[in-house]
Structure 1
Amino acid sequence: MTEFVLVAGTWLGSWAWDEVVPELRAAGHGAHALTLSGLAEKQGLPAGQRTHVRDIVDAVERNDLRDVVLVGHSYAGIPTGQAAELIGDRLTRVVFVDSNVPADGESFVSDWPDGRAMVEAAIAGTGGFWPPLAAADYAGQGLSDEQITRIVTASTPHPGATLTEPATLTRPLGELPATYIKCLLDGAEPSPRVAALLTSDHWRLVELDTGHWPMFSQPHELARILLTEAGDSSPTP
């Protein structure tokens, strides 16, 4: 049995995986959706990026999970990628869902050369948080009006320190067994950093014809990919 640990990106909590978790469990696996510190029901908890790494590692160790597939979406790819090397032989695979990936000494905003000033200004102007997107920002991402409303209504401001603190890696990320899911409506090609990692024999690319939030727009297809990447070839219910 695989144990999936699912971590959503900025502004989101464990609720983002509500349509994916039941499909993974119906296939006979464990599924653990996490809310990172400072978000959703954990609003008010102080959080830096290292806090989020520890959130993920603690969830694996506290529950004594084995055969773990870590799943990081968007921003969460950065703490998830770091947590993956810290859980040792508990890890089966890490899956990056249209996500940023960690680079030693680099932060989330480091990967945004054109948007870094905008993000940092937004954090400075809101008391240390990155405000959630507005409904219009989700256009063209394969989401229904109802799905957009759900995301916007439930999103919470994201702790700014998690976006500006640098990542720490003790080994090349390309050595980890990994899958990168590229959501094509959010850009047809992976970023240069991801493209370089995909040259590793340990990494593989899967394309998904939807937008940046596939847990909402195509949860069944996302669950199928996760099961396949974990080595489960049986069809999802």
Structure 2
Amino acid sequence: MANYVLVAGAWLGAWAWDEVAADLRAAGHTVHSLTLSGLAERRGGAAGQQAHVRDIVDEVERLDLRGVVLVGHSYSGIPVGQAAERIGDRLAQVVFVDANVPADGESFVSGWPDGRAEVEASIAANGGFWAPLTAPDYAGQGLTAEQIGRIVAGSTPHPGATLTEPAVLAGPLTALPATYVKCLLDGAEPNPDVAELLKSAHWRLVELDTGHWPMFSGPRELARLLGGLAAEE
């Protein structure tokens, strides 16, 4: 049995993992879903990317967790990848769920050149926060209208500094034991930076036939996949 720490992507909090966490717990695992600073029930304060890294590291150390399967979705892959390096031998493996991955000295927006101007404009227009997506933005991702409604209703503005601050890595991500989960409705192939990392013997690729928010569109399938990874440790 493993200790899972689940971190959702931009605009979301721990609540986004409710269904996945329930299935993992039913299978006997320990699950800690984490809300990052400035989001959901922790909204209201500014936070930078390194604050999000500390949120994750502090949670693992506060609970004295070992055999940690650290899971990051979308944006949160960036702080999760950094935190995975910093928790050392507490880590069993890091799982990136259709996620961005950190590169030393690079930020979320620098790794997304096609969307950088749009993100930075939103941050400037919304008091330092990235405005949440609206319902039409979730089309084509395998979500029902009810699921889209849940996401939109629960989303909160995302602290802009977390998207513009650079990542800080002491070594190559290829040294970490990692699984990358590619959600096929969001594109059949991983991004080039992920494809390069997958050349490492420590990394592997698995696929889910669902969209970018699998904790909503395919929670049972995602929980089964995550539970299977722990069983292989």
TM-score by length of 2: 0.99
Matching residue of 2:171: 171
- What is the alpha-carbon distance in structure 2 between the residues aligned to residue 190 and residue 231 of structure 1? 25
- AA aligned to 2:193 is R
- What is the alpha-carbon distance in structure 2 between the residues aligned to residue 90 and residue 108 of structure 1? 26
Return 5+ residue gaps in structure 1 as ranges.
none
Matching residue of 2:132: 132
- AA aligned to 1:43 is R
- What is the alpha-carbon distance in structure 2 between the residues aligned to residue 10 and residue 205 of structure 1? 23
- AA aligned to 2:17 is W
- What is the alpha-carbon distance in structure 2 between the residues aligned to residue 72 and residue 231 of structure 1? 19
- AA aligned to 1:141 is Q
Q: Find runs of 4+ consecutive structure 1 residues off by over 4 angstroms.
A: none
- What is the alpha-carbon distance in structure 1 between the residues aligned to residue 86 and residue 44 of structure 2? 26
Aligned to 2:23, what secondary structure does the other structure show? helix
- What is the alpha-carbon distance in structure 2 between the residues aligned to residue 112 and residue 161 of structure 1? 15
Matching residue of 1:229: 229
Deviation at 1:112, TM superposition (A): 1.0
Matching residue of 2:213: 213
- What is the alpha-carbon distance in structure 2 between the residues aligned to residue 129 and residue 224 of structure 1? 34
- What is the alpha-carbon distance in structure 2 between the residues aligned to residue 70 and residue 212 of structure 1? 18
After superposition, where does 1:58-97 map in structure 2 within 5 Å? 58-97=58-97
Aligned to 1:230, what secondary structure does the other structure show? helix
After superposition, where does 1:10-21 map in structure 2 within 5 Å? 10-21=10-21
Matching residue of 2:26: 26
Aligned to 2:44, what secondary structure does the other structure show? coil
CA RMSD of aligned residues (A): 0.9
Matched length? 233
- AA aligned to 1:78 is I
- What is the alpha-carbon distance in structure 2 between the residues aligned to residue 77 and residue 2 of structure 1? 20
- What is the alpha-carbon distance in structure 2 between the residues aligned to residue 33 and residue 138 of structure 1? 23
Deviation at 1:44, TM superposition (A): 1.3
Aligned to 2:227, what secondary structure does the other structure show? helix
- What is the alpha-carbon distance in structure 2 between the residues aligned to residue 138 and residue 95 of structure 1? 23
After superposition, where does 1:126-205 map in structure 2 within 5 Å? 126-205=126-205
Query: For residues 162-211 of structure 1, what are the alpha-carbon distances to aligned partners after superposition, in whole Å with 9 as ceiling and x for unaligned?
Result: 00000000010011000000000001100000000000000000010000
37-46 or 134-143, larger mean C-alpha shift: 37-46
- What is the alpha-carbon distance in structure 2 between the residues aligned to residue 44 and residue 87 of structure 1? 28
Matching residue of 1:4: 4
- What is the alpha-carbon distance in structure 2 between the residues aligned to residue 232 and residue 188 of structure 1? 25
- What is the alpha-carbon distance in structure 1 between the residues aligned to residue 212 and residue 9 of structure 2? 10
Aligned to 2:231, what secondary structure does the other structure show? coil
Matching residue of 2:102: 102
TM-score by length of 1: 0.97
- What is the alpha-carbon distance in structure 2 between the residues aligned to residue 197 and residue 112 of structure 1? 17
